[in-house]
């Protein structure tokens, strides 16, 4: 339920804070005073599209906040989206700056517009004054029937099952169409797998084989070079070690006369250690090395095999393992996809699942159509369409996402006439009245706790207007109902009456003001709605009678 609404700098509203009561609330006022602007502001807070045009002239930004009492469905949604606030209320807020940029908040936490709209659909249901136009569209008629019958979830399940069936059908059809080309591709992949399977390249093998080949191919040069280095470092008469030892012995004698030579002797000692270690490492290398001609032949054969495979498949040798794996995976996938029998079974199963749900939906729709037809027909009798009849016709159709039938609203405006499609037989006034009846009946089935009717009573008057007021009043006993109206017969039924007026501002454009009316003020407002500019004792008396009734 809507508890309060706060508006700042929205269109012609500068600052407004309103509190709302349960039951039936009416909003009235002169044309152009801004009655519908209040609804627009609330819808902005609930995620409607907005641009810089909503910002009051001269202001930096528009700011709208609304507080609702959260029901179970709303509390569950808030918890699932980690946006739960305190107690059992939820606060939504939206700002739009002069450049058209907007920000959204739920319980003080930044939110996306998609989240705001999703939450808004659980909080408020709006019936606009042009609802009867959408009522002529088959999709809208189908949606209304499903909502009235509480079938929205089942209809969504049917749509999902139809999508699964379509996917299975496309997979089977694609497999049949590509059977020939798939066979050729399988042959090509099988050839790659067979050829490379014989070579069996391993991950990282090329790098290892190439390094070993280089070593074995240059083994003689490696051994000769290593032995020559050992001789030069340690084993020749004029080796590096013997020369270092001679230099060190000579400088050690001279160091007795000049201690500044001692750092040089220390460096020579360190150099001797490093040279000796290098010679020892080379000796160990020579002990392990040999000229393995058989191994060199094996490695050369492996290098040649990998090179030949790389040329055949036009890929670098190091990429051969990846090519083999890819071909194996594709071949496995194609083998599975080419199982037409399995695909046909999957399609049959998907169709059966769809038909099971669709037939269940058809039976439920038939019952909902009978109930809705009877309820709207009864409402038509009260709306000056005595003898009129409303029917929800279901006709078989090709299976689709919405089920196995088409829905069409039929109406007979008078007794004894055959019901015909709504768009063809209803006049503008009749269409408005039927639309209102359907809106009230459909709204009574919605789980949303706040319903808004924005001038849905346009084009009616007299006794019909009194009936409309009674219907909305009755609906207000089950839900919180807000109604923007120009009819005194409807306004008189309100539990709460808000008057919207436009007044001149000290500076800048005029502004809207909204005030809650007490009984005396309600009499004056109803008298204005009854009599226009000139309010007389007679119109006031009539207004008091309407309130008393």
Look up residue 421 and give its two tokens: 């499609």
Per the CB < 8 A criterion, the answer to whether 131 and 451 are in contact is no
- Of the candidates 453, 531, 533, 532, the one whose C-alpha atom is nearest the C-alpha of residue 493 is 453
Which residues lie below 8 Å from residue 151, measured CB to CB, with a gap of 6+? 145, 361, 364, 365, 368
Quick one: DSSP state of residue 231? I
Q: Say if residues 385 and 413 touch (Cβ distance below 8 Å).
A: yes
- The set of residues, in sequence order, having a beta carbon less than 8 Å from that of 297 and lying 6+ positions away, is none
d(CA 487, CA 319): 81
The Cα–Cα gap between 217 and 297 comes to 10
Burial class (CB in 10 A: 0-12, 13-18, 19+), 327: buried
pLDDT tens figures, 46-80: 988 888 888 988 889 999 999 998 888 888 888 88
Task: Report all structural domains of the chain as residue ranges with CATH numbers, in order of start.
Answer: 1-126+455-460+478-516 (3.40.50.300), 130-162+348-446 (1.20.1050.90), 183-337 (no CATH), 518-549 (no CATH)
Contacts of 548 (CB under 8 A, 6+ apart): none
pLDDT category of residue 505 using cuts at 50, 70 and 90 = low
Decide if 408 contacts 393 (C-beta within 8 A): yes
The answer to whether 92 and 45 have CB atoms below 8 angstroms apart is yes
Q: Is residue 129's pLDDT more than 60? A: no
CA 237/CA 232 separation, integer angstroms: 9
Q: Could you read off the pLDDT of 335-386 as tens digits, one per residue?
A: 765 577 888 899 999 999 999 999 999 999 999 999 999 988 888 887 777 7
**pLDDT (tens digit, 9 = 90+) per residue, 208-244?**
888 877 776 666 566 667 778 888 888 787 888 888 8
Per the prediction, the chain carries an average pLDDT of 84
Q: What share of the chain is helix, strand, coil (3-state, %, to 5)?
A: 60, 20, 25
Question: Residue 513 corresponds to which tokens in the numbers above?
Answer: 């003001």
Q: How far is CA 308 from CA 193, 205, 213, 314, 541, in A?
A: 15, 15, 16, 10, 108
Is the pLDDT confidence value at 94 over 90?
yes
**Residue 477's pLDDT band (cuts 50, 70, 90):** confident
How would residue 428 be classed by pLDDT, with cut points 50, 70 and 90?
low
At residue 96, the pLDDT reads 92
Residue predicted with more confidence, 87 or 484: 484
As a whole number of angstroms, the distance between CA 474 and CA 375 comes to 15
């Amino acid at each position: 339920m809507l508890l309060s609404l706060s508006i700042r700098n929205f269109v012609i509203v500068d600052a407004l804070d309103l509190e709302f009561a349960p039951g039936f609330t009416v909003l009235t006022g002169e044309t152009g005073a801004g009655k519908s602007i209040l609804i627009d502001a609330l819808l902005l807070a609930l995620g409607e599209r907005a641009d810089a045009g909503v910002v009051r002239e001269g202001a930096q930004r528009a700011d709208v906040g609304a507080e609702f009492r959260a029901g179970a469905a709303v509390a569950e949604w808030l918890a699932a989206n980690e946006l739960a606030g305190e107690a059992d209320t939820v606060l939504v807020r939206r700002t739009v700056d002069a450049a058209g940029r907007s920000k959204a908040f739920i319980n003080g936490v930044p939110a996306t517009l998609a989240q705001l709209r999703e939450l808004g659909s659980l909080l408020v249901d709006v019936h606009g004054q042009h609802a009867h136009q959408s009522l002529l569209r088959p999709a809208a008629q189908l949606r209304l029937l499903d909502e009235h019958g509480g079938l929205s979830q089942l209809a969504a399940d049917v749509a999902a099952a139809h999508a699964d069936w379509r996917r299975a059908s496309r997979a089977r059809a694609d497999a049949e169409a590509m059977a020939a080309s798939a066979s050729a591709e399988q042959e090509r992949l099988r050839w790659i797998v067979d050829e490379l399977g014989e070579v069996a390249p391993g991950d990282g093998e090329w790098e290892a084989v190439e390094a070993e080949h280089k070593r074995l191919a240059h083994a003689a040069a490696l051994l000769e070079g290593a032995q020559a280095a050992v001789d030069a470092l340690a084993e020749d008469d004029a080796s590096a070690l013997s020369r270092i030892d001679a230099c060190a012995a000579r400088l050690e004698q001279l160091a007795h006369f000049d201690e500044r030579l001692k750092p040089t002797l220390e460096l020579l000692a360190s150099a001797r250690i490093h040279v000796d270690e290098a010679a020892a490492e080379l000796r160990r290398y020579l002990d392990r090395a040999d000229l393995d001609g058989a191994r060199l032949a094996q490695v050369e054969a492996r290098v040649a095999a990998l090179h030949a495979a790389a040329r055949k498949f036009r890929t670098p040798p190091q990429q051969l393992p990846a090519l083999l794996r890819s071909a194996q995976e594709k071949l496995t996938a194609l083998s599975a996809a080419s199982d037409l029998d399995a695909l046909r079974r999957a399609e049959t199963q998907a169709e059966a699942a769809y038909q099971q749900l669709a037939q269940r939906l058809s039976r439920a729709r038939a019952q909902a159509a009978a109930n809705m037809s009877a309820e709207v027909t009864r409402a038509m009798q009260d709306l000056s369409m005595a003898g009129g009849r409303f029917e929800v016709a279901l006709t078989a159709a090709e299976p689709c996402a919405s089920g196995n039938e088409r829905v069409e609203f039929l109406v007979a405006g008078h007794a004894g006439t055959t019901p015909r499609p709504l768009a063809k037989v209803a006049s503008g006034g009749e269409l408005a009245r039927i639309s209102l009846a359907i809106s009230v009946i459909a709204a009574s089935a919605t789980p949303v706790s706040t319903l808004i009717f924005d001038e849905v009573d346009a084009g009616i008057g007299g006794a019909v207007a009194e009936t409309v007021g009674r219907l909305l009043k009755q609906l207000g006993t089950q839900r919180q109902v807000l109604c923007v109206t120009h009819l005194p017969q409807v306004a008189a039924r309100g539990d709460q009456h808000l008057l919207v007026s436009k007044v001149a501002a000290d500076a800048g454009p005029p502004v809207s003001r909204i005030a809650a009316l007490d009984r005396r003020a309600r009499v004056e407002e109803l008298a204005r709605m009854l009599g226009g500019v000139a309010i007389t004792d007679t119109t006031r008396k009539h207004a008091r009678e309407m309130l008393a009734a």
